[in-house]
Each structure stands twice: as C-alpha cells, then as structure tokens.
Amino acid sequence: MGTETQYTGPNIVAPDSRFLAAAFDTIDVGVLIHDETRKVLLFNKAMTRITGLPSEEAIGRDCRSFLTPALCEDTCDMCHAAATGQQCGPANYEAQTISREGAAYWVRINSFPFHYDGRRYFLVTLTDVTEMKQMEEQTGHSSSCCGIIGQSKAIKTVFEFIRSAAETDITVLICGETGTGKELIASAMRQQSLRRKGPFVKINCAALPEHLVESELFGHIKGAYTGAATDRMGRFEAASGGTILLDEIGEISLQLQAKLLRVLQEKEIERLGENRPRKVDVRILAATNRDLVREVREKRFREDLYFRLAGTVIRLPNLRERKEDIPLLVSHFLRHFCAKYGRNIKAISADLMKAMMDHHWPGNIRELHNLMEAAIAMCRKNMLGMESVPGGYFDADTSAFDAPAEEATTPSPGNLSEQQWILAALEKNRHKISLTAQSLGMSRTTFWRKLKALGIR
C-alpha cells in the first residue's frame, strides 16, 4: 500500500500593515481599527474624508479624542467592552454629526470585535448616508442638524460652533434677535455633547414671577416662606448631571445675578431657608436677545457675571443674513403643516416666494413659521399663493428695522415722566412694540409689563 502524499501549496505570508492600509484606502467606506485601549492602529482615506482628520493625526490617538460624542460615546457597547474586557457582538446604528468644516451629515456606524494573536481589536466602519437621508426627507438639497435647517455660510458657522462646543463643558452665551432659534441651538449643543443622556432643564427667566425666581432656581426647605409646606428641589438640582438653559438671562434682577454668579464659580447652591451648600454638576447655557455689553455698561447687568457666562459667545444670524435658507425653511414648513392640517399643497407660487425673499422678517424664523402655518391652514388649493396671506402683509414699510437699535434716535427721559418717555418712544417707532422695546433696551416681555403697570394701552 503506497504512502499518500498531501499537497500543501506555497507558503502563505500574512500581509503587513502597509498592505492592509493600501487595500482599505481603495474603498469608499471609512475604516479604522483600534485596540482595547482605544488606540487607533489603522485609519483609511475615506475616514479622513468623513471626519476631516488626516490619518497621520489619527494613528496612535484615542479614538474618542476626535470622534464627536454623537458618533462615539462611553455608553456604547464597543466602548464598554473595550473598557471592561467583556464580550460583545457587532454594533450597527446611525447618527447625525457635524464635520470640522461645519457641515451637518449622517453616518452609519458598524463596529466588529475580533481577536488576533491573543489580543482583541475593534474594526469600525463609517458610511456617509447623508444623501439617502435627504431623499427620505424629500428635500433633495436641504441641510439640517438637530432640527436646524439651512445651508448658508452663516448657519454653517453655527453648525461648526455647535460641534466645537460639544467637545467641551464650557458655559455658552447664545445671543440673537427674537425668533432666531436660540432654544433650538441650545438643544442641539446638548444633543451633541457628552451630557446628552442627562437631564435638560429649560428656564424662561422672564416668565418666572420675581418673588419666586430664587425658589424656582435653587429650591427651598419647609417653612422657608409662607406657603412652603414641604422641601422642594430647585431647577439647578434637577439638572445635575445634565444641562440647564437660562433663557432671557438679561431679565433677572441684580440681586439674583449675585447668587447666580456663585453657582457658576463654586458649582453649588443653597436652598431658600437653608445654610448648607449643595454641590451641583451642571453645564450652563444662557440665552438673551439683549445687548448684554450695553447692559453692563449701563449697570443693569453685573460685569463679573457677564464674563462668567460668556465663556464663549455665539451670535445667531437673523433671517435677513441668511435669506438663501428661506426656500429650505419654506419647504420644511410646507411639509410639516400640510401633514398637520391634512392639506395637499404641492408648491408655492413664484410671486409669494419672491415676496418672502424680499421681506425683512423682523420676527425672523418664528415669524416665517407663524405665517406659513396660517397660510397653509387657510389654503384650499394645491398651490400656496398670495391670496392665502393676509392682505398688505408684505406692503408694510420695514425700513425702521434696517438700523441697529444703538443707532436709532430714542427719546431721552430728561425731565419727562416715565409714562411720557415711553409714549414718546412709541410715537417715534410708529407704535411697533418690538422695535420700541429694542430701542429702550428692554425685552418685549419687560416692555409689555411696563405698559401694563403704567396703564398704557
């Protein structure tokens, strides 16, 4: 009986890392490989295109140092497995994030654990699915991030700011005219941050009764004042571990400003009626439509608090500065309100779109939102035209809004009574509430309160 000879073929040599890198560079899917310490070992060209980071800067770094929290967070299965040594299967999810150039985009993330030479590694792929998402939304060409719609240079600067702010825990002051979307920007910053899974507490400082503001913010103990029947946690404690938004921050009193300053400095609060400080772990975002620099100059806002709040400042563009985004916003509102009111409106007439592009939009996106809702609710045709808009809406002279408030000639109190002063300002600004309030350095809410107190109708 003969001996069987087994053919083994030529020796197989495992490819080296340069061979693998060259192979991965040929595909259009972002690929990186990291070890259990999250150190990046391979980073292909498509990953550079998606993240904006050159491979030579990525290799050897912890992947969390350049992937935004929206893409890679400590609570994901891959990160947990890498940190604890536990087993896990492949991961597959989608996320929206912002590039280093400020562009919003969607990616699909797949992660695969594998073993080699007794050690465990993770292969991560990123696939750009932005176009597919846009087709699903039937926009074809729009760009959005966390509900913020636009593709203008002005709004892309805001996107870039959100991405940068997401990588820090710094206090942010959001400035902008009424209706520019300050609360939406705050929500986007929280959604892209490491605190995205924590609570998000929003406070409209102008809407809180002055005698209850301190109790609302810091809480109270039983018996602290008449009616305080039980201990109550304040908004800062409720937001601990997450983010708090102080909207209309310019409306709080100087006395409360001093107490708020301590929260920012010491990260602790004291409930009303209690002398024991309580630590709070909270990120603070503040928003205002006031010129706080002028408020500081005129002693209505504390300088030390301003510099604490203004760790970094973002000024939101008004709609007049991003008119190329109006068609995108109109398209979005058209889809939204058609679904809400059961309308079958296919398009907007050319003359209505031209009127919208030429309008000054003193109320910014909120004004556009309200106009579109009213027009769509009243429309019974399959095209939205000028007949659906209140007569004369676009005929009003808006030139008074062209000049900044600082340059407008505002009546001075002088020897006038406060009532005469406000009446003169109303007359000067043609009885436009928002413009008069702005010219007097007040918010619209504060100005309405002033009118009511003085009995001006």
Mind listing the domains of the chain with CATH numbers?
17-132 (3.30.450.20), 153-315 (3.40.50.300), 321-388 (1.10.8.60), 402-454 (no CATH)
365, pLDDT greater than 80: yes
44 near 32, Cβ under 8 Å?
A: yes
216, pLDDT greater than 60: yes
Supply the pLDDT for residue 437.
Answer: 75
Spell out a b/e string for 428-456, using b for 16 or more CB atoms within 10 Å of the CB, else e. Answer: bbeebebbbbbbbbbbbbbbeebbeeeee
pTM, full prediction: 0.61
The residue among 236, 211, 218 whose CA lies nearest residue 275 is 218
Q: Which amino acid is at 306?
A: Y
Per-residue pLDDT tens digits for 172-203: 999 999 999 999 999 988 888 888 889 999 99
> What residue has token string 């018996």?
223
Per-residue pLDDT tens digits for 347-364: 888 889 889 999 999 899
Residue 317 carries which DSSP code?
A: P
Gyration radius (Cα) of the chain, Å: 28
Give the residue with greater pLDDT, 294 vs 11. 294
Paired tokens of 252 = 């709080």
365 near 319, Cβ under 8 Å?
A: yes
Supply the pLDDT for residue 75.
Answer: 46
Per-residue pLDDT tens digits for 11-70: 444 556 778 788 888 888 889 998 888 889 999 998 888 777 888 888 888 887 777 665
